[in-house]
Amino acid sequence: MSAGGVVSLSRRSISNTLRQPQMWVPSMAFPLIFTALNTGAMGRATRLPGFPAESFLDFAVATAVVQGVLFGATAGGSDMAVDIQDGFFDRLVSSPVSRPTIVLARLAGAAVLGAVQSLVFMAILTAFGAQVRGGAPAVLTIVAVAMLLAMAIGGLSVAIALKTGSSEVVQAAFPVFFISLFTSSAFFPRELMSGWFKTVASVNPLSFMIESVRALIIGGFHVGDAMRALAIVAALAGVSLLLSLRALRSRLAAG
Amino acid sequence: MNSLGIALSLAGRNLLLMRRIPSVVVPSLVFPIFVVIAFSGAYSALTRLPGFPVDKMIDWILPMAVVQSSAFGGVNVGLSLVRDLQGGFFDRLLLAPVSRASLVAGPILGAVVRAFVPLAVVLATGLAAGARPRGGPAGLLMLLVAAEGVAVIAAGWGVGLALRLRDQRAAPLMQVGIFLTVFLSTAQVPLAVMSGWLRTVATLNPMTSILALGRQGFIGPVSWAQTWPGLVALAGGIAVLGTFAVRGLAVAEQ
Amino acid sequence: MSKPAGAASPRAANVEVRGLVRRFGSITAVDGVDLDVAEGEVFGFLGPNGAGKSTMVRMLVTLLRPSAGAARVAGYDVVKEAAKVRRVIGVALQDAALDPLMTGRELLRLQATLHGIPRGHVEARGGELLERVGLTAAADRRVGTYSGGMRRRLDLAMALIHEPAVLFLDEPTTGLDPMSRISLWEEVRRLNIDHGTTVFLTTQYLEEADELAQRVAIIDRGRIVREGPPAELKAQVGEPTLQVVVPEGDLERAAEVLRHFGEPAPARPDSLAVHLAGGAAGLAAVVRALDERGVQPVSMELTAPSLDDVFVEATGRRLEGAQADPAVPAP
């Protein structure tokens, strides 16, 4: 497969997303709105014994990044479904572009957008007083995590797009991502949860990923946290890449 | 046929359509149930903060989720109207020799009836999950009043926007409007727990009084002090957004 | 085709339009239209897409306010007495605005209620109309499953539920197959004969206007460019047109010959056309003259003026869609 093919197709996928503000504006706006709301409503929760951060805003930075990437990365999948519906996908398949490139370009596009999102969130929230205590190494790690997470979510939605060929179904998968985020420790620390909810959050892999990212922000840079965060998202991205390539193969075999 | 009869038969059509598009109904049930479960699970520790009037988070969250589900149910009427406007069906209604107000009143009436469904389902789920209506039947009645009032307000908002924008652009505006109005109030925590700008906004937001009206029965016995501000807020909201909807009709007829 | 002059009935009513204008921003969609439709008449409003037909209908049926001018339907002003106008008109708008999730019967029931049919009569009236448009068997299916022709027939039934005095049909057969189109034509004709209903019909199909309308108006760019009975309009265009296809090399010589027989008319690149001054009787002379100059025509065709020619003569253009017209059923 040619690197040029990936670059030009991922550029198309990025510009496609940017040209549809309804695809990315909510994924930028909603995490910020949630952060503002929750900081106002739950700022005092930091006084509860066991709360891991001194400021709720610091606590919420990781939430915003992960939430934004989750919202944004579904766009690639629903674009892919639109391509399938429009027949553009068939044109790509019949062109000399190697087939996995079609999928990889989408994921590369999602990764670039994820990186941009994470930087924008960190910049805006820092301007409002949040602190990333881990400094530059933490920021770099978080950007890498965001890229891998974008590929993981993007890969899943691309796999759904390839399987169903319907952008509605891809959009409908979005609440599933949202629910898995909400049943993790994304919005509130696991230390303060109790009962069955704590059990669910404790088996949700997103919890561990978010907690490691959060540790880089509220604690400082530790190689162990960084490795853990990267390992979890890399594993998720690997699985979802496999799924999307398999979905591609079965669509091509069927078509 | 009088205007009320016309409004009723249009409301009936609205209910018929609700039964025929389950894809609209199901999310409007699933989402608030999820809110009840997830919010009361994730934020259970918040009730330990000073100034939180309940011990169990679900008692705080459930009434909000019920009101929110009515609000989204009300807004759905606006979404149906967008469909009618785009498909041209609304022209057919405009061509009928009936009072213009009944064309708006019909769908809003439909919202009132259809709000019962999520209300009952969400409430039942919450009660099964352990919420305790300390205020008894009177408390539940207050929640019903708050939820139905909000359904009317939200329907007015949805219908007014639909008539002005006439296409799918209206949908996100409808939902974001409802979402912000609910969450910029005491949706998640009481005023005493909030800090900074949110506390100021929530104090001014009429939704705070409406939630207090609907929520009081889950905190303690029903009292007039917790009731009247909510009733005033509902009346005001209905007047303002009802006018917004009826004026929208004049815009649509240009 | 004989055209019935609809018998006047006490419920029939006329349409009167004076200086009607509608602007949308800087665009003037309808630009000072005067029209009269008599009681019991089928009136055809003919024009290409975007000529202002739908804007005109929407003003006449009270859905759109005129920017200037006035219109009266059955004697009622469409702005000041909109509610009264709505009571006497039946309307089938373009694209049959029906709710695909409702059944035919449910829609008729709703329409009956909206038009104030007493509750006890709703079912009977709905059933009768369903029967009349041949939808009884499909009455309890969702409209989403109907074919285009069935939708138009249901739309027509709904427009008739309150026995309107004036029926407005906005492009009632656009997109229909020939069979459905003919059955709709028959229904409209029957209404006009049996009930004396005044029919105001817009169309972009020439034969539709020719077939149904006792009088037509041709609208182009918001203005009426011709008005009158189809036969009269065609007669005004005058002589029949002679199309001659000749071998390429003979084109110039043939043109020279034909110039003596009448005014040139628009033609395809490989052929020539003239408005034959002497009518069909002059044909033999043309053949002889061509022969004398040694021109051997490939084909010759003499056509009487059609509404299309009226349109060309009035606007200098052909009516869009006239060529791609699917309406003419194979003989």
Instruction: Answer yes or no: is pLDDT of C11 > 50.
Output: no
Q: Is B2 helix (H, G, I), strand (E, B) or coil?
A: coil
Which pLDDT does position C6 carry in this prediction?
A: 39
Residue C327: its pLDDT value, please? 37
| pLDDT at res. C51 | 85
CATH superfamily of C239-304: YebC, transcriptional regulation domain (3.30.70.980)
Closest CA to C75 of C22, C39, C115, C32: C39
Contact C133, C157 (CB under 8 A): yes
Q: Which residues of C142-160 are buried (b: 16+ CB within 10 A; e: fewer)?
A: ebeebeebbbbbbbbbbbb
Q: Which residues contact B57 (CB under 8 A, 6 or more apart)?
A: B39, B40, B41, B43, B44, B46, B47
Instruction: Walk across the sheet containing C198-203 and list its strands.
Output: C89-92, C166-170, C198-203, C42-46, C215-220, C223-228
Choosing among C67, C105, C113, C169, which should be mutated to test the B contact, i.e. which has the most B CBs within 10 A? C113
Parallel/antiparallel/unpaired status of strands C166-170 and C89-92: parallel
Between A40 and A16, residue with greater pLDDT = A40
Residue matched to tokens 């309804």: A22
Residue C42, classed as helix, strand or coil, is strand
- Within the 189-218 window of chain B, which residues sit less than 8 Å (CB to CB) from chain A? 189, 193-199
Q: Which of A219-223, C214-218, C250-254 has the lowest mean pLDDT?
A: C250-254
Model pLDDT, residue C324: 39
- Nearest chain A alpha carbon to B40: A197
* Interchain CB distance below 8 Å, A48 and B38: no
Subunits next to A (3 or more Cβ pairs <8 Å) are B
The residues, ordered by sequence, that sit 6+ positions from B194 with a Cβ below 8 Å of its Cβ are: A40, A41, A43, B186, B202
Where is C275: in which H helix or E strand?
Answer: strand C271-275
pLDDT at C175 over 70: yes
Residue entry with tokens 């400021």: A55
3 state SS of C276: coil
CB contact under 8 A, B1 and C113: yes
Position A93 scores a pLDDT of 79
Q: Is B52 on the interface with A (CB under 8 A)?
A: no
Lowest mean pLDDT among A172-186, C60-74, C294-308: C294-308
Residues pairing with C92 in the sheet: C169
Structure tokens, A194: 């109790």
Would you state the structure tokens that stand for residue C45, as one six-digit string? 């409003």
A37·B188 Cβ contact <8 A = yes
pLDDT at C323: 43
A185 to chain B: closest CA residue: B42
CA–CA gap between residue C306 and residue B254 (Å, rounded)? 39
Place C325 in a pLDDT band, splitting at 50, 70 and 90: very low
Full-prediction pTM beyond 0.95?
A: no
The segments of chain B whose pLDDT lies below 50 read none
Q: Are C80 and C250 in contact (CB under 8 A)?
A: no
| Predicted confidence (pLDDT) per residue in B60-70, tens digit | 999 999 999 99
- Count: domains in chain B: 1
Nearest CA in chain B to A188: B42
**What is the nearest CA distance from A58 to chain B, expressed in angstroms?**
16
Q: What is the pLDDT of residues C127-153, one digit of tens each?
A: 999 998 889 999 999 999 998 889 988
Cα–Cα distance for residue pair C83/C62, rounded to 1 Å: 9
Q: Which domain holds residue B11?
A: 3-252
Look at B183 and A36 and tell me if their CB atoms are within 8 Å: no
Counting CB pairs under 8 A, whether chains C and A reach 3 or more, is no
In chain A, residues with a C-beta closer than 8 Å to the C-beta of B172 are 22, 26
Domain ranges of chain C: 15-227, 239-304
Q: Average pLDDT in the A101-127 region? A: 91
In this predicted structure, the answer to whether residue A114 has a pLDDT above a threshold of 90 is yes
What are residue C90's DSSP bridge partners?
Answer: C167
Residue C23: phi, psi to the nearest 5?
Answer: -110, 145
Quote the Cα angle for C87-C92-C96, to 5°: 135
| Bridge-based pairing state of the strands C76-77 and C68-73 | antiparallel
Contact between chains at B95 and C91 (C-beta distance less than 8 A): yes
What pLDDT score was predicted for residue C320? 56
Confidence band of C322 (pLDDT split at 50, 70, 90): very low
A28 neighbors A117 (Cβ within 8 angstroms): yes
More confident residue, A186 or A84: A186
Locate tokens 């003259």: which residue? C289
As a whole number of angstroms, the distance between CA B156 and CA B78 comes to: 8
Closest partner residue to A44 among B30, B43, B49, by Cβ? B49
CA distances from C79 to C11, C38, C116, C164 (A): 21, 21, 21, 19
More confident position, C53 or C258: C53
Question: b or e along B234-246 (b: 16 or more beta carbons within 10 Å of the residue's beta carbon)?
Answer: beebbeebbebbb
Interface of B with C (CB under 8 A): 1, 5-6, 9-10, 13, 16-17, 20-21, 84, 87-89, 91-98, 253-254
**CA B167: distance to chain centroid?**
22
Element (H, E) at B220: none
Residue C3: pLDDT above 60? no
Reported ipTM: 0.85
Q: Could you tell me what percent of chain C has a pLDDT over 70?
A: 91
CA C39, chain centre distance (Å): 18
Which residues in chain C are contacts of B5 at CB distance < 8 A? 113
pLDDT tens-digit series, residues A163-215: 888 877 777 777 788 888 889 999 999 999 988 999 999 999 899 999 999 99
Question: In terms of DSSP H, where are the helices of chain C?
Answer: 53-60, 82-88, 104-114, 119-132, 148-159, 178-195, 206-212, 230-237, 251-258, 283-292, 307-315
Q: Where are the alpha helices (DSSP H) in C61-147?
A: 82-88, 104-114, 119-132
Contact at CB, A40 and B198, closer than 8 angstroms: yes
Nearest to B187 by CA among B43, B24, B74, B78: B43
Structure tokens at A9: 């197709």
User: What is residue B15's predicted lDDT score, i.e. its pLDDT?
Assistant: 82
Instruction: Sheet containing C27-37: give its strands across.
Output: C27-37, C15-24, C68-73, C76-77
**Residue C84 CB neighbours (<10 A):** 17
C328 pLDDT exceeds 70?
Answer: no
For residue C228, the SS3 value is strand
CATH number of C15-227: 3.40.50.300
Residues of C in contact with B1 (CB under 8 A): 113-114, 116, 119
Count B/C contacts: CB-CB distance under 8 Å: 69
Q: How far apart are CA C109 and CA C115, in angstroms?
A: 10
Nearest residue, CB atoms, C87 vs list B84, B88, B97: B97
Q: Are strands C27-37 and C223-228 parallel, antiparallel or unpaired?
A: unpaired
pLDDT (0 to 100) of residue A25: 84
Residues linked to residue C17 through DSSP beta bridges, in sequence order? C35, C71
So what's the pLDDT on residue A35? 94
Q: Which residues of A touch B46 (CB under 8 A)?
A: 42, 45
Q: Which residues of C touch B92 (CB under 8 A)?
A: 91, 93, 97, 111, 158
Q: Which range marks the domain in which residue A195 is found? A: 3-254
- B9 and C110 within 8 Å at the Cβ level: the answer is yes
Average pLDDT along chain C: 84
Residue A143 has pLDDT above 90, yes or no: yes
Q: How many CB atoms lie within 10 A of CB B129?
A: 15
The b-or-e profile of A143-157 (16+ CB within 10 A means b, else e) is bbbbbbbbbbbbbbb
- For the segment C252-275, the average pLDDT, to the nearest whole number, is 79
